Amino acid sequence: MKLGKIKLPPDATSEQVKQYIDKIVAVSKKQTSYSRSDIQIEMLTQIDHKYLPVLINKTAANSVPKNYHLSIAVTSSIRESDKQLVIKMLPSCPSLIDSVIKFGWHKELKDIIFATTKLD
């Protein structure tokens, strides 16, 4: 399947959003170079903001190796009003640190950041 064939239905359900993300990730696994202008980022940022937790969960599930497109899409989609969601999900999705820095929350959240990035 090619990216052009992957479509998100209007008024998509949570399950349809998950499937949409999974298809994009699956097609993108063969990619060897990445850019902020990759179509996957645009596709992922078109997901309705109410599904931001789904997008973050998919980012956490695909964090090793870090999925470039998901990480960029999440950072682009997070709003300042999503602070509590970021705090809640940071331990399971360390790539949210990009949003913490973007909004200047790093000083306030330093204990969570250190706990999240603690090395064994």
pLDDT value of position 41: 94
Angle at 67 between CA 61 and CA 71, to 5 degrees: 90
- Spans in the chain with pLDDT lower than 50: 120
pLDDT value of position 118: 58
DSSP category for residue 109: T
Read off the pLDDT of residues 69-90 as tens digits, 9 standing for 90 and up: 999 999 999 999 999 999 999 8
Sign of the dihedral through C-alpha 24, 36, 119, 92: negative
Distance between CA atoms of residues 102 and 85, nearest Å: 15
pLDDT value of position 111: 78
Burial 92-113 (b: 16+ CB within 10 A, else e): ebbbbbebbeeeebeeebeebb
pTM, 2 dp? 0.83
